[in-house]
Amino acid sequence: MKHLTDSITLRHGATLTNRIVMSPMQTHSGKRGGFASDDTINYYSARSQAAGMLITEFHYVSKNGGPAYTPGYPEQLGAYSDEHLEGLSNVAKALKKDGNKAILQIHHAGRAAIGQAVSGEDVVAPSNIDFSFLDYPVRELTHEEILAIIADFGRATRRAIAAGFDGVEIHGANHYLIQQFFSKLSNHRTDQWGGDLEKRMAFPLAVVEEVKRIVELEKQKNFIIGYRISPDEIHGSEIGYSAEEAAQLISEVSKHELDYIHLSLWGGYGSSPSDSEKSYAELFKEVLDDETKLIIVGGVFSEADAQDAVENYADLIAVARGTLVDPKFAQKIIENKGETIHHEISPATIDYVEWTPGLKEAFSRKDSLGLPPLPGGESIQDLHTGRFDMFYKK
């Protein structure tokens, strides 16, 4: 029987002290240009005991890859230049101070790089499509620009190594650029980067290959490499890709011998496709070898939830909002104090959670800034000041 406190050795030699992972979550704390702030460092320092493996929020790897954020709020963090190294090093140090593994999530927002539009710059995407849900146009990437972005993922990986991170997670989920290339709804290309399923896999696989190449070039034997994916893209009758197609992509990704695959699950860790009796976890486990660990996420706020996830569904359980409301989530379980984990936010715990000002403003809004609401969130709405809401009045 698997236990949350089991130590886990990953494919390339890194050992995790437990089966709990802190899921990547935007901190709304970056300074202009994607630089880490004191608020960023304080937030991550407070969560150094949240899990055995701690994944940062998404960091954009190309200057045109972000920021993906709500204008008016502090920006998304970046890893697209050597100028970001100091901040990256400080984040890594904060996360690793209690002996847990720190992972840098690397990403390109593609059409979601609203900061480019706000600045009057081109917003780039796989194809020139007029998306009804965007207030700005997108421009189709050239072949040369695609190659440059792939190289940028490698450069960001090299910066992660230099900054002291224990690994990187390639962000191929949540409708950002890698997913945009894989989805037939957003990729209408007819060259080597789009068309049939195999060609729509080309960009994700090229990114994986480049990241692997850099890690091997830098001789980082224990360096962790993970890949995050949304297990399907279905919007009513419109299908970007099915779970079966996503599993085919992950089967190809796995041939590159990554340490883990991370499923981004909005319906909960045990959720299933609408047309299947099997959970997403079961479907993706079938295409993974024994050395590639599976991480799932969704709706975990207690020790019992986390134990059920690893006992019945996957190798590791990522905790997202659960670490927002209790930054000592894993440590309490390790100390046999799981019953003391906070399951909701409240005015009494607002100082304990050590949120950034941006997170406090986001989650004290009635709409949580479009984020999944927190248990107890209605109790902190009186704390909302509106200081960042000048462009977002909903």
User: Which sequence positions are flagged as catalytic?
Assistant: 176
Using CA atoms, how far apart are residues 94 and 18, in angstroms rounded to an integer? 19
- Report d(CA 299, CA 268) in Å as an integer: 5
At 261, list the tokens.
């695959």
For 120-153, give one letter per residue: b (16+ CB within 10 A) or e.
eebbbbbbebeeeeeeeebbebeeeebeebbbbb
- The radius of gyration of the chain's CA atoms, rounded to the nearest angstrom, is 20
Tokens at 248, concatenated: 């085919």
Long-range contacts of 360-367 (CB under 8 A, 24+ apart): 361/28, 361/73, 361/385, 361/386, 361/387, 361/388, 361/389, 362/28, 362/70, 362/73, 363/324, 365/389, 367/394
**Contact criterion met (CB below 8 Å) for 303 and 4:** yes
Say which residue the tokens 């991370």 belong to. 262
**């962000």: which residue's tokens?**
171
The Cα–Cα gap between 190 and 323 comes to 43
Nearest-angstrom CA–CA distance, 197 and 347? 49
Cα torsion through 326, 31, 378, 369, rounded to 10: -120
Element (H, E) at 21: strand 20-22
Indicate if the alpha-carbon torsion angle 75, 150, 57, 173 is positive or negative: positive
From residue 327, give the alpha-carbon distance in Å to each of 96, 292, 343: 14, 27, 11
